[in-house]
Amino acid sequence: MAPPTTKRLGELDGGARPHVMFIPSAGMVHLLPFFHIIVALVGHDVDISVVTVLPTVSAAEADHFSSLFAALPRVRRVDFHLLPFDASEFPGHDPFLLRWEALRRSAHLFRPLIDGAAPRVSAVVTDVTLTSHVIPIAKELGVKCHVLFVSCTTMLSLLAYTPVHLDKKAEQGPGVGDIDIPGVRRIPQSYLPQPLLDLNKLFTKQFIDNGREIINADGFLVNTFDALEPVALAALRDGKVVPGFPSVYAIGPLRSQHNSPEVEKEEATGSPVAWLDGQPARSVVYVAFGNRNAVSRDQIREIATGLEASGYRFLWVLKTTTVDRDDSAELTDVLGKGFLERVQGSGLMTKAWVDQEALLKHPSMGLFLSHSGWNSVTEAAASGVPLLAWPRGGDHRVNATVVVSDGVGVWMEH
């Protein structure tokens, strides 16, 4: 089936200047695709509002929101203050997952924001983590609601089909088991996001609620492209996964429209962009495991040993905590005595935020050792840098199946 047809912006609201309200969620992996679309859209004849949840979980989120509104004064900022939320109900949970739940419990407050906006909101674009609450509100108000899906199309098909699978599986006994997505692929249970294996987990309840509601969206914007995921896109568009599924628009790979303040600062101070300038073409191994994936000290030192022994040049973005505000450890303490001195000149380590897209475009990049988060996969594919997938959790194993099947790179386990 061919990709769905698109409408001109004026057709969203009877020919009048449209007003699109973006309702993102938490975490840089969820925010960056929103920012890319907003920057691309601002040059068109359209009003834009962005719901900004306060306070943000991480410092990187706060910095990027500030940069967005400073650079684009036409974009309206709509502050959204969460209702009190007792996180002690869910001890030990990921702070970003807790933020999603806090957002869901405050989601009824989106109704007056949408209904009372001036000019009238023509369309809402929301994050998939909020769909079970935002879609019904938009429908009640007669506002089009599209979902920006920040993972791969294969993961979207898994989200759409999981409720169907569980309804069938309930008749056969407990457990999730492998999920055979019609027209796409069979996802082994070991590849699923681990919380899905426990139907009582907070993430699982959110996932299933959203999976049941997404059929009522007006369309999906997915950061992918037809050459990367032809099978999954066709299966959703043809109704093989779920009959009557909404239109799916492949809008990737999403790219920055201009340099971020972080990149400009890096270029000015000489790190790490200037360091890359001094390396031979295709010679650097880039190591990064995403913004939410902390690595244990022991594992960090094992990686360090391997990088040093390989003899290859490398750029390594380190994280020791899930939330950047909590990360106060010094590189020397993390990496061990003498490591920084031994790799001086051949290796560069940083704990600072980097513009990964800009780094991957650099001609010295030769390989990307990655957790296979979807933003990383699409950025590597768009930059022509082969990816060595080392999935850490969440949707990473599902993404890694796409990495392998579509020739973007290889999966360490395979």
Q: Which are the catalytic amino acids?
A: 30, 127
The answer for residues whose C-beta is within 8 angstroms of residue 270's C-beta and 6 or more apart is none
Q: Residue 368, SS3?
A: strand
Nearest Cα neighbor of 150 from 317, 5, 36, 294 is: 36
3-state helix, strand, coil in the chain (%, to 5): 45, 15, 40
Please report, as a single letter, which amino acid is at residue 327. Answer: D
Residues 6+ apart with CB under 8 A from 112: none
C-alpha 387/C-alpha 160 separation (Å) is 27
H or E element, residue 96: helix 95-105
Output the DSSP codes for 245-275: PPPEEE--S---SS--HHHHHHHHHTSSHHH
Outline where DSSP puts E strands in 102-197: 123-127, 144-149, 179-181, 185-187
What DSSP letter does each residue of 283-307 carry, written as one string? -EEEEE--SS----HHHHHHHHHHH
